[in-house]
Chains A and B, each alone.
Chain A
Amino acid sequence: MKLQEIIDSLSLKVETPTADLDREVKGAYVSDMLSDVMGNAKDGSVWITLQIHLNIIAVASLKGLAGIILINNRVPAEDTLKKALEENIPIMSSPLPAFELVGRLYSLGLRCR
């Protein structure tokens, strides 16, 4: 599934308009612990989290994640956005809490792989 399709289906707000949104999303992973994501998320997954600080970009980049979706309308820190654009990591946000957002992603057919 393309990231853009997920953005459209769930009306996600794109925080990084210039990042490439035409990428394939192979799965999804939800966690707020960075080492959990490092250890257990699969590459090509979209990552659902409440963390907004700079270090989430390093995790997404090192793990080859397809993008980051922030829950509860959380707004990424300014340096996070800057780094995201440098590393071409799309950041989206949703007003939904994690449980609701993950349920919708699951309904779209995404799995943890």
Chain B
Amino acid sequence: MGSTEGVFFLTGKDFKNAGAASSSLKGILEGMGIPAAIIRRVAIASFEAEMNTIIYAVAGMINYCITSEMIRIRIQDMGPGIENIELAMKEGYSTAPDYIREMGFGSGMGLPNIKRNADTLTVNSVIGEGTTVEFIISLSLGE
């Protein structure tokens, strides 16, 4: 069975291009005829992960793999790492600095938004090294 794979590279603090990778991914999914409701979920989750990398990390990359059964997105960053993943998953919790909050980021809804839109979510983080967020959105119907 075939799969479509690719990668986007992200640069930390590059707010000018923030969201571009998720927009491109959305375009790829639209081109493949993936249902709009699924694309919406992927777009939300991938945008949140993309923004987390831009806000917190030095750099990162988004790998995507699309099969007939699922869309798997893995975002790896070179960032500070998440000290307490359980807390980070809590809606409203954020460690974002003030200038980030003034832009309307750092509301503590990033990871919760990813969780809500994904079928599975795995977060692995090492302090001082970085964070890997991987989520899967299933394409099989009737679940």
Contacts and interface: CB of A to CB of B under 8 A. Distances in A.
B23 interface: yes
Majority DSSP secondary structure for residues of A touching B = helix
Size range of the chain A interface in the assembly: 20 to 34
B77 interface: no
B26 interface: yes
B62 to A, nearest CB: 14
A35 B103 contact: no
A84 B49 CA distance: 23
A51 B104 contact: yes
Given A34-B104, A51-B103, A54-B15, A64 B40 contact: yes
A51 B105 CA distance: 11
Interface in B43-97: 43-44, 47-48, 51
A66 B68 CA distance: 31
Contacts of B40: 43, 63-64
A33 B112 CA distance: 14
Interface of A: 32-36, 38-39, 43, 49, 51, 53-59, 61-64, 79
Q: Which 8 A-B pairs have the closest CB atoms?
A: A58-B19, A35-B109, A33-B107, A62-B43, A34-B104, A39-B113, A51-B104, A35-B107
